[in-house]
């Protein structure tokens, strides 16, 4: 008798959010613009060959948006999307959402991180901090100064940078002339 491996945190977190919002796997897939098969695979935590499945940050964004669309109150959607996205990204190890702390210059020999406050209409004292791990050394010299100085950037500059990153994420799976190509999961 073989033991079933434990499901990854992303599988558990997605399932919890999906059930909390009252969505079926098919409905979440429709709202998130991903296949229902992929939602089932993510929640199972393993693909057909038994490999651990951890979706890309772009898929996490789509899933969070899909979950948020279940909220009838439009003013609550952004909050729900942000919370679901942070939970999913944290479960995958892409973001580490914690109480405020000083950023560490190195968390591991090949890992650097910077902390930035999560956008919030609340007071500065009640803000949480998101730690962004830059795993690729090529990003350290470019990304870390932006992240470390995020609070000092004007809101329109922050929005511009986030828009550029979202555009890059959206385009990363496309081939020549914007045709849909193979994308990473």
Q: Look over the chain and give the mean of its residue pLDDT values, rounded to a whole number.
A: 73
Identify the residue with better confidence: 168 or 146. Answer: 146
Confidence of residue 56 (pLDDT cuts 50, 70, 90): confident
Question: What percentage of the chain carries pLDDT values higher than 70?
Answer: 65
Which residues fall within 8 angstroms of residue 78, CB to CB, at 6 or more apart? Answer: 68
pLDDT confidence band for 14 (50 / 70 / 90): very high
pLDDT tier for residue 68 given thresholds of 50, 70 and 90: very high
State the number of CA atoms in the 13 A half-sphere of 82 facing the CB.
Answer: 13
Phi, psi of 106 (to 5 degrees): -145, 130
> pTM of the prediction?
0.56
Confidence of residue 67 (pLDDT cuts 50, 70, 90): very high
Q: With contact defined as beta carbons under 8 Å apart, do 120 and 127 qualify?
A: yes
* Cα(162)–Cα(168) distance, integer angstroms: 10
Sorted by where each starts, the structural domains of the chain and their CATH numbers stand as: 7-93 (1.10.260.40)
Cα–Cα distance, 66 to 179 (Å, whole number): 23
Q: What is the mean pLDDT of residues 28-47?
A: 95
Other beta carbons within 10 Å of 97: 15
Residues 140-160 have a mean pLDDT of 77
pLDDT at 122: 39
């Amino acid at each position: 008798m073989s033991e079933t491996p434990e499901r990854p945190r992303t599988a558990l977190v997605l399932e919890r959010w999906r059930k909390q919002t009252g969505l079926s796997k098919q409905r979440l897939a429709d709202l998130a613009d991903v296949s229902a098969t992929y939602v089932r695979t993510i929640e199972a935590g393993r693909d057909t060959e038994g490999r651990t499945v951890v979706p890309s940050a772009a898929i996490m964004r789509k899933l969070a948006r899909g979950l948020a669309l279940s909220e009838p109150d439009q003013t609550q959607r952004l909050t729900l999307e942000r919370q679901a996205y942070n939970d999913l990204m944290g479960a995958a190890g892409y973001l580490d959402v914690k109480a405020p702390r000083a950023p560490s210059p190195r968390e591991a020999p090949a890992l650097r991180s910077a902390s930035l406050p999560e956008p919030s209409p609340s007071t500065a004292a009640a803000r949480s901090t998101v730690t962004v791990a830059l795993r690729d050394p090529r990003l350290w010299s470019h990304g870390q100064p932006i992240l470390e100085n995020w609070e000092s950037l004007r809101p329109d500059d922050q929005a511009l940078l986030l828009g550029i990153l979202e555009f890059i994420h959206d385009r990363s799976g496309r081939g020549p002339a914007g045709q849909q190509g193979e994308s990473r999961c």
